[in-house]
Amino acid sequence: MRIRYRYRGNEKIFDKPADSVIIGRPRHGVQVDIDLTPDLRVSRPHARISIADGDYWIEDLGSANGTEVDGRPIKGAGKIRLSPGQQIRISDTTLALDVPAAEPRPAASWAADERTLID
């Protein structure tokens, strides 16, 4: 999973194979995959981005200050489908999911008798 995140002009990239990524601030006994310290209004843990059945999902984990996707609060809404390029805001940090483009499929063509579509 590849996630770009920016806090006060400093951009970082999380790029590791993962089915689930926890975003927040660590503390003793609480581990996060993306550490948003020094943004002190970020909870421990704050949100999770996961992959299920080929779709990406984001969920606020009961944070104190909430999570927004494209300006819409999602706290308490459960899992929300996330599309590449949507802007995620957690306090003063913005994040975006980068998904590699799928390889193009060859165009379908008609067989010689023009009755069978070959895909």
Q: Does domain 2-100 have CATH number 2.60.200.20?
A: yes
Is the predicted pLDDT of residue 114 greater than 80, yes or no?
no
pTM of the model: 0.82
- Cα(113)–Cα(3) distance, integer angstroms: 48
For residue 103, the model assigns a pLDDT of 45
Residues 46 and 57 sit within 8 Å (Cβ to Cβ): no
Give 51-63 pLDDT, tens digit per residue.
999 999 999 999 9
Average pLDDT over residues 12-39: 96
- Cα(4)–Cα(26) distance, integer angstroms: 19
Domain chopping of the chain, boundaries: 2-100
- Contacts of 22 by beta carbon, 8 Å cutoff, 6+ apart: 31, 32, 33, 34, 45, 47, 48, 61
Mean of pLDDT over the chain: 88
Residues 87 and 96 sit within 8 Å (Cβ to Cβ): yes
End-to-end, the C-alpha distance of the chain in Å comes to 30
Query: Which is it for strands 34-35 and 47-52: parallel, antiparallel or unpaired?
Result: unpaired
- Contacts made by residues 6-9, CB under 8 angstroms, sequence distance 24+: 6/93, 6/94, 6/95, 7/36, 7/38, 7/39, 7/92, 7/93, 8/92
Give 1-20 pLDDT, tens digit per residue.
999 999 999 999 999 999 99
Q: To the nearest 10°, the Cα dihedral for 65, 66, 71, 72?
A: -140
Give 39-90 pLDDT, tens digit per residue.
999 999 999 999 999 999 999 999 999 999 999 999 999 999 999 889 999 9
For residue 1, the model assigns a pLDDT of 93
Predicted confidence band of residue 99 (pLDDT cuts 50, 70, 90): confident
